[in-house]
C-alpha cells in the first residue's frame, strides 16, 4: 500500500546550520507518530513543511500521492496555490502558541474556517463546533473571546478548530510546551482521547516522553536533522540502539 | 479697537452656514482617504517591483508637497485637461488623496502588527489569500489603527480652512468674505478658531468613545 | 518661450528663497517652543504646567491656517501690525512648536523613572539630571518625529502665500495670472517643494546618525 505521507531526500539549512539533512520518511495512513529529540533537531520543521509554511532546499514531499513541490531552476518551490489548497485541506495543525484568532469568539474560531472551506453550512458548522467544544469540556466558553481563556483552554479550542475541518493528517507542534505545568494534563487527555477514537494520521512533536509512549505506535528520534532511531515505542524507549538516543532518554527521564 | 460682541453675533449665522460645508468636506474626504489608503496598501501587495516603487514614490510625493499647491493644481490645471469638477469636488478629492497617503502608513503599521502566527494559523485552516486578508488580517490590523485614524480625522478637519483658497465657502471662506465686507476680521476669524477648538474637543471625545466601545464588544 | 522660461526661473528662485527663510525661521521658533513648553509640561510647578498645557491645547486645537490669518488680519484690531513674514514665522513656529512640545514631553517621559532616580541617588540637581542624563537619552527619540514636523511646517508655509508673502506658491499664482499658463508653474512648484522635502529627510537622517546612542542602548 502506498504511504499517505512520503518524504524523500529533504534538506534545509538556515545560513550555515543544517536543519534537515537528506531526510527520508514514509508514514502510512492512520499511524500515530511521535517525533522526539533535542531542540533544533528538525522535528518542528518537518511539521511546518507538511503544513506548507516553510521552504526547502532540496527533496520532495507527497501527501496522498500529490506532490508539494515543483522542481525549478532555483530549487524546489511549492506548487501553485490552486493545486496546494486541496492538499492543505487534508492537513490540520495545532501550534505551540495556539494561533487562535483573537477577534473571533471561541465558537466563531471553529465555525468560520469550516464555512470558508465550504465543508459545512452555517448551522452544520455551529452544530459541529458545539459538539467538539463539548468533547473538549469547553461548551460553556463558546461565546468567550480567546483572551479570557487559560492556555490549556486555548489549546483545546485550537484542537477543536483543527478537527472541525476533518483533515486526514493532524500535526501537533509541541502542543503543551507553552502551558503552565498544571494545565498540561488537560490537553494531553484530550489528545489521547482523540488519538484513540479516530483513524486520522497524527504527527506529534513533544518533550513529554511518557505521553509520547502512550500516544504513539511509532516513535522517531531526531538529531541534527536526521532520524537516528525509528521503531515502536517500547523498542525505542526500552532498548534504544543509538548512543545519542540513550543519552537523550537518560537526560529526559531525570527531568521527569 | 477691541472685541465687538454685536458684530460677532452678526457673524455667527454666516459661520454656521460655513460650518456645514466644513463638516461635509471633512466627512467625505476622510471617507475617501480611508478607502484610498487601504487600496494603496493592498496595491503594494501586487508582486511587482514597478508597482511597488510607483506606489511608494507617489505616496512620498503627496506627503512631501503642500496640500494648498495640490489643490491649486487640481483647481487650475484639471480644466485644461477637460476635467471639470466643482470647487468642492476638487477640495474633497485633494484632501482625500492627501490624507490617503497618511492613512496608508497607519494601515501598514497595523498590518505589520499582526503576528506571523496568525497568517500561519489561517493557512493551517486552509484559507485562501483573500479570505485570510478579509477575515483574519484586516480586522486585527484595523482595530489598533482606529485611535490613530481618529487623530488624522481631527488633523484633516483642521486642514479644511485651506479649501477657502479655492473659493469654497467653508467656515474660513465665510469668515473672510464677511470680514472683507465689513473691513473687520477680528471677530469672524477668532470665532472660527473657537469653533475649531470646540469641534476638535468634541471629535476627540467622540472618537475616544467609539474606540472604547469597539475595544469592549458588549 | 525662452523669455517665459527665464521669467519662471527668476520668480521661482525668489520664491524659493522666501520659502526657505520661512521654513528655517519657523523651525527655529518651533524648536525653542517645543523644549520650553514640553519641559514646562512636566515641570514641578503647577502654574508652569498649566501655561504649557494651555499653549499646547490652543495651538494644536485651532488650525494653522486660522492662526496665520488671525495674526495677519485680526491682530491689527489691537493695534499690532505684523509683516506677512513675521506673521508667517510666528504662526508656523507657535503651531508646530505645540506639536513639538508633546514630542519632547513623551520622549522625556519614555526615558524612565529609574534614570531620574539614579540621578537623585547621585545627588545631581534637577537641572544637571535633565542636562546630562535625561536629555541625551531623550533627544535621539525626538529627532525622527521632529523631522516629520519640519516637513509639516514646510508644507504649511504655502499658506502664507495667501497673505501676500511672495513664496514659491505665491510666485506660481502670479505667474499663472501673468501668462495664463497653469501646468508648468504648478508642476515646478510641486517639484521644488518635493526637493525641499527630500532635503529635510536627508538632514534628519544625518541628525539621527549624529545623535544615535551607542548600540545596544537604542531607544526602542
Residue with cell 490669518: C69
**B116: closest chain A residue by CA:** A99
Enumerate the residues of chain B whose CB falls inside 8 A of the CB of residue C172: 69, 72
pLDDT at C189 over 90: yes
Enumerate the residues of chain A whose CB falls inside 8 A of the CB of residue B126: 85, 88-89, 113, 117, 165
- Per-residue pLDDT band for B48 (boundaries 50, 70, 90) equals confident
pLDDT tens digit sequence for C56-105: 999 998 889 999 999 998 888 888 888 899 999 999 999 999 999 999 99
Query: Regarding predicted confidence, which is higher, A161 or C212?
Result: A161
C79 in contact with chain B, both atoms CB, cutoff 8 A: yes
Residue with cell 492556555: A151
Q: Tell me whether residue B181 is in a domain.
A: no
Spatial separation of the C-alpha atoms in residues A69 and B133, rounded to whole Å: 25
Residue of B121, B138, B143, B216 to mutate, testing the A interface (most A Cβ within 10 Å of its Cβ): B121
Spatial separation of the C-alpha atoms in residues B124 and A51, rounded to whole Å: 6
* Cβ–Cβ pairs < 8 A, chains A and B: 54
| B135/chain A closest Cα distance in angstroms | 9
| A226/chain B closest Cα distance in angstroms | 25
Residue C180, class by beta-carbon neighbours within 10 Å (0-12 exposed, 13-18 middle, 19+ buried)?
A: exposed
pLDDT value of residue B17: 93
Residue with cell 517525533: A35
CA angle B173, B178, B182 (to 5 degrees): 150
**What percentage of chain C reaches a pLDDT higher than 70?**
97
**C193: closest chain B residue by CA:** B65
Residue B47 structural domain: 23-171
C149 in contact with chain B, both atoms CB, cutoff 8 A: no
Nearest to B135 among A53, A99, A116 (CB): A116
- The count of structural domains within chain B is 1
Q: Tell me whether residue B2 is in a domain.
A: no
Residue C122, class by beta-carbon neighbours within 10 Å (0-12 exposed, 13-18 middle, 19+ buried)?
A: exposed
> In this predicted complex, what is the ipTM?
0.90
pLDDT value of residue C5: 86
B205 in contact with chain C, both atoms CB, cutoff 8 A: no
Contacts of B135 (CB under 8 A, 6+ apart): A112, A116, B122, B127
The three grid cell numbers given for residue B177, joined into one nine-digit string: 468674505
pLDDT at C112 over 80: no
Q: Tell me whether residue B120 is in a domain.
A: yes
For A143, A173, B56, the CA distances from A48, given in Å and listed in that order, are: 30, 9, 33
Contact B121 A162 (CB under 8 A): no
Enumerate the residues of chain B whose CB falls inside 8 A of the CB of residue C163: none
Residue A97, class by beta-carbon neighbours within 10 Å (0-12 exposed, 13-18 middle, 19+ buried)?
A: middle
Contact A117 B125 (CB under 8 A): yes
Residue C31 CA, chain-centre distance (Å), reads 7
Nearest to B118 among A52, A89, A99 (CB): A99
Enumerate the residues of chain B whose CB falls inside 8 A of the CB of residue A101: 118, 121, 136, 140
- Per-residue pLDDT band for B55 (boundaries 50, 70, 90) equals very high
Average pLDDT (B161-190) is 91
Query: Helices C84-110 and C2-41, interaxial angle, to 10°?
Result: 40
**Could you give the domains of chain A?**
5-253 (3.40.50.300)
pLDDT value of residue C124: 84
For residue A88, which of B115, B119, B132, B122 has the smallest C-alpha distance? B122
Instruction: Please report, for the domain that includes residue B81, its CATH number.
Output: 1.10.3720.10
Contacts of A205 (CB under 8 A, 6+ apart): A34, A35, A36, A43, A44, A47, A172, A173, A174
Contact B125 A100 (CB under 8 A): no
pLDDT value of residue A59: 94
Q: Cα-flanking dihedrals φ and ψ of residue A178, to 5°? A: -90, 10
| B90/chain C closest Cα distance in angstroms | 16
| C6/chain B closest Cα distance in angstroms | 21
Spatial separation of the C-alpha atoms in residues C125 and C105, rounded to whole Å: 19
Sign of torsion, CA C186 C187 C188 C191? Answer: positive
Contact B120 A81 (CB under 8 A): no
Q: Tell me whether residue B148 is in a domain.
A: yes
**A171: closest chain B residue by CA:** B124
pLDDT tens digit sequence for A127-144: 999 999 999 999 999 999
Instruction: Look at B135-144, C75-84, C101-110 and tell me which has the smallest mean pLDDT.
Output: C75-84
DSSP code for B80: G
> Strand pairing partners for C145?
none
pLDDT at C217 over 60: no
| B145/chain A closest Cα distance in angstroms | 14
- What's the per-residue H, E or C state across chain A? CCCCEEEEEEEEEECCEEEEEEEEEEECCCCEEEEECCCCCCHHHHHHHHCCCCCCCEEEEEECCEECEEEECCEEEECCHHHHHHHHCCEEEECCCCCCCCCCCHHHHHHHHHHHCCCCCHHHHHHHHHHHHHHCCCHHHCCCCHHHCCHHHHHHHHHHHHHHCCCCEEEEECCCCCCCHHHHHHHHHHHHHHHHHCCCEEEEECCCHHHHHHHCCEEEEEECCEEEEEECHHHHHHCCCCHHHHHHHHHHHHHC
- Per-residue pLDDT band for C220 (boundaries 50, 70, 90) equals very low
Query: Which CATH number does the domain C2-211 belong to among 3.30.499.10, 1.20.140.10, 1.10.3720.10, 3.40.390.10?
Result: 1.10.3720.10
| A40/chain B closest Cα distance in angstroms | 19
Q: Tell me whether residue B5 is in a domain.
A: no
**What percentage of chain A reaches a pLDDT higher than 90?**
85
pLDDT at C161 over 50: yes
Enumerate the residues of chain A whose CB falls inside 8 A of the CB of residue B134: none
Say how many Å lie between the first and final Cα of chain A, rounded: 39
Task: List residues of A whose CB lies inside 8 A of any B CB.
Answer: 51-53, 81, 85, 88-89, 91-93, 95, 97, 99-103, 112-113, 116-117, 145, 161-162, 165
For residue C65, which of A253, B118, B173, B110 has the smallest C-alpha distance? B173
CB B62 within 8 A of CB C172: no
| C117/chain B closest Cα distance in angstroms | 33
Question: Chains C/A: 3 or more C-beta pairs closer than 8 A?
Answer: no
For A54, A65, A200, B128, B137, the CA distances from A84, given in Å and listed in that order, are: 14, 13, 20, 10, 21
Compute the mean pLDDT over every residue in chain B, rounded to the nearest whole number. 91
Contacts of A232 (CB under 8 A, 6+ apart): A217, A218, A219
| C-contacting chains (≥3 CB pairs under 8 Å) | B
Contact B124 A162 (CB under 8 A): yes
Compute the mean pLDDT over every residue in chain C, rounded to the nearest whole number. 90
pLDDT at B92 over 70: yes
**C191: closest chain B residue by CA:** B65
Spatial separation of the C-alpha atoms in residues C15 and B69, rounded to whole Å: 14
pLDDT at B135 over 90: yes
Nearest to B77 among C62, C79, C186 (CB): C186
Nearest to B189 among C69, C151, C194 (CB): C69
For residue C184, which of B77, B6, A193 has the smallest C-alpha distance? B77
Residue of B153, B160, B189 to mutate, testing the C interface (most C Cβ within 10 Å of its Cβ): B189
Element housing B218 (H / E):
none
Mode of pairing for the β-strands spanning A218-223 and A32-36 = parallel
Q: Tell me whether residue B55 is in a domain.
A: yes
pLDDT at A1 over 70: no
Contact A101 B136 (CB under 8 A): yes
Contact B66 C65 (CB under 8 A): no
Instruction: Look at A143-152, C87-96, C124-133 and tell me which has the smallest mean pLDDT.
Output: C124-133
- Per-residue pLDDT band for B1 (boundaries 50, 70, 90) equals low
For A25, A42, A52, B18, the CA distances from A77, given in Å and listed in that order, are: 20, 19, 10, 61
Contact B69 C186 (CB under 8 A): yes
Average pLDDT (A35-58) is 93
**C183: closest chain B residue by CA:** B77
Contact B65 C74 (CB under 8 A): no
For residue B120, which of A92, A42, A167, A10 has the smallest C-alpha distance? A92
Enumerate the residues of chain A whose CB falls inside 8 A of the CB of residue B127: 113, 116-117
Q: Is A112 left (phi over 0), alpha (psi -120 to 50) or beta?
A: alpha
**What percentage of chain A reaches a pLDDT higher than 70?**
98
Enumerate the residues of chain B whose CB falls inside 8 A of the CB of residue A100: 121
pLDDT value of residue C219: 46
Compute the mean pLDDT over every residue in chain A, rounded to the nearest whole number. 92
Element housing C75 (H / E):
none
Nearest to B189 among C74, C159, C194 (CB): C74
Contact B125 A89 (CB under 8 A): no
CB A47 within 8 A of CB A166: no
Residue with cell 484639471: B78
Spatial separation of the C-alpha atoms in residues C1 and C6, rounded to whole Å: 9
Q: Cα-flanking dihedrals φ and ψ of residue B133, to 5°? A: -65, -50
pLDDT value of residue C160: 93
B2 in contact with chain C, both atoms CB, cutoff 8 A: yes
pLDDT tens digit sequence for A80-109: 999 999 999 999 999 999 999 999 999 999
Amino acid at each position: 500500500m502506498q504511504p499517505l505521507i512520503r518524504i524523500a531526500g529533504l534538506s534545509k539549512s538556515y545560513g550555515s546550520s543544517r536543519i534537515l539533512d537528506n531526510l527520508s520518511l514514509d508514514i502510512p495512513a492512520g499511524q500515530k507518530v511521535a517525533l522526539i529529540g533535542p531542540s533544533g533537531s528538525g522535528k518542528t520543521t518537518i511539521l511546518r513543511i507538511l503544513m506548507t509554511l516553510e521552504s526547502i532546499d532540496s527533496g520532495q514531499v507527497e501527501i496522498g500521492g500529490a506532490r508539494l513541490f515543483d522542481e525549478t531552476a532555483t530549487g524546489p518551490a511549492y506548487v501553485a496555490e490552486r493545486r496546494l489548497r486541496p492538499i492543505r485541506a487534508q492537513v490540520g495543525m495545532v501550534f505551540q502558541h495556539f494561533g487562535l484568532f483573537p477577534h473571533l469568539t471561541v465558537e466563531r474560531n471553529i465555525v468560520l474556517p469550516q464555512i470558508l472551506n465550504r465543508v459545512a453550512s452555517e448551522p452544520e458548522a455551529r452544530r459541529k463546533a458545539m459538539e467538539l467544544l463539548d468533547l473538549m469540556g469547553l461548551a460553556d466558553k463558546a461565546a468567550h473571546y480567546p483572551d479570557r481563556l487559560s492556555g490549556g483552554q486555548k489549546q483545546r479550542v485550537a484542537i477543536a478548530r483543527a478537527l472541525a475541518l476533518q483533515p486526514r493528517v493532524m500535526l501537533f507542534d509541541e502542543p503543551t510546551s507553552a502551558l503552565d505545568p498544571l494545565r498540561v494534563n488537560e490537553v494531553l487527555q484530550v489528545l489521547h482521547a482523540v488519538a484513540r477514537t479516530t483513524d486520522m494520521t497524527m504527527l506529534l512533536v513533544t518533550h513529554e516522553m511518557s505521553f509520547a509512549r502512550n500516544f504513539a505506535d511509532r516513535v522517531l528520534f531526531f538529531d541534527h536533522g536526521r532520524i537516528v532511531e525509528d521503531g515502536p515505542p517500547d523498542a525505542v524507549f526500552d532498548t534504544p540502539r543509538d548512543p545519542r538516543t540513550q543519552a537523550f532518554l537518560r537526560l529526559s527521564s531525570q527531568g521527569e | 479697537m477691541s472685541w465687538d460682541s454685536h458684530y460677532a453675533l452678526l457673524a455667527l449665522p454666516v459661520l454656521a452656514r460655513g460650518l456645514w460645508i466644513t463638516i461635509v468636506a471633512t466627512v467625505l474626504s476622510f471617507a475617501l482617504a480611508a478607502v484610498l489608503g487601504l487600496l494603496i496598501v493592498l496595491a503594494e501587495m501586487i508582486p511587482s517591483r514597478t508597482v511597488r516603487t510607483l506606489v511608494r514614490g507617489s505616496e512620498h510625493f503627496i506627503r512631501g508637497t503642500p496640500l494648498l499647491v495640490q489643490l491649486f493644481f487640481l483647481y487650475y490645471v484639471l480644466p485644461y485637461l477637460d476635467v471639470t469638477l466643482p470647487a468642492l469636488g476638487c477640495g474633497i478629492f485633494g484632501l482625500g488623496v492627501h490624507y490617503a497617503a497618511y492613512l496608508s502608513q497607519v494601515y501598514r503599521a497595523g498590518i505589520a502588527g499582526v503576528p506571523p502566527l496568525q497568517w500561519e494559523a489561517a493557512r493551517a485552516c486552509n484559507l485562501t489569500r483573500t479570505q485570510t486578508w478579509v477575515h483574519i488580517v484586516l480586522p486585527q490590523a484595523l482595530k489598533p489603527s482606529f485611535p490613530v485614524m481618529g487623530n488624522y480625522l481631527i488633523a484633516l478637519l483642521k486642514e479644511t480652512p485651506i479649501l477657502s483658497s479655492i473659493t469654497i465657502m467653508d467656515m474660513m471662506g465665510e469668515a473672510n468674505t464677511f470680514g472683507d465686507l465689513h473691513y473687520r476680521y477680528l471677530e469672524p476669524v477668532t470665532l472660527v478658531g473657537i469653533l475649531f477648538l470646540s469641534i476638535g474637543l468634541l471629535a476627540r471625545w467622540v472618537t475616544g468613545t467609539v474606540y472604547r466601545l469597539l475595544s469592549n464588544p458588549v | 518661450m525662452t523669455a517665459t522660461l527665464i521669467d519662471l526661473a527668476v520668480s521661482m528662485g525668489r520664491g524659493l528663497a522666501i520659502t526657505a527663510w520661512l521654513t528655517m525661521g519657523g523651525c527655529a521658533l518651533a524648536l525653542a517652543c517645543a523644549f520650553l513648553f514640553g519641559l514646562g509640561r512636566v515641570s514641578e510647578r503647577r502654574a508652569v504646567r498649566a501655561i504649557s498645557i494651555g499653549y499646547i491645547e490652543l495651538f494644536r486645537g485651532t488650525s494653522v491656517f486660522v492662526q496665520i490669518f488671525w495674526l495677519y488680519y485680526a491682530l491689527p484690531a489691537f493695534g499690532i501690525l505684523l509683516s506677512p513674514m513675521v506673521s508667517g514665522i510666528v504662526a508656523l513656529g507657535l503651531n508646530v512648536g505645540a506639536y513639538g512640545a508633546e514630542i519632547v514631553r513623551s520622549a522625556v517621559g519614555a526615558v524612565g523613572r529609574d534614570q531620574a532616580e539614579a540621578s537623585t541617588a547621585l545627588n545631581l540637581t534637577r537641572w544637571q539630571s535633565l542636562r546630562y542624563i535625561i536629555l541625551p537619552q531623550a533627544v535621539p527619540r525626538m529627532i525622527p518625529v521632529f523631522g516629520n514636523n519640519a516637513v509639516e511646517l514646510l508644507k504649511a508655509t504655502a499658506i502664507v502665500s495667501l497673505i501676500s508673502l511672495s513664496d514659491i506658491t505665491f510666485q506660481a499664482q502670479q505667474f499663472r495670472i501673468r501668462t495664463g499658463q497653469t501646468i508648468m508653474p504648478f508642476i515646478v512648484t510641486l517639484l521644488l517643494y518635493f526637493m525641499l522635502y527630500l532635503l529635510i529627510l536627508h538632514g534628519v537622517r544625518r541628525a539621527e546618525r549624529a545623535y544615535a546612542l551607542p548600540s545596544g542602548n537604542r531607544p526602542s
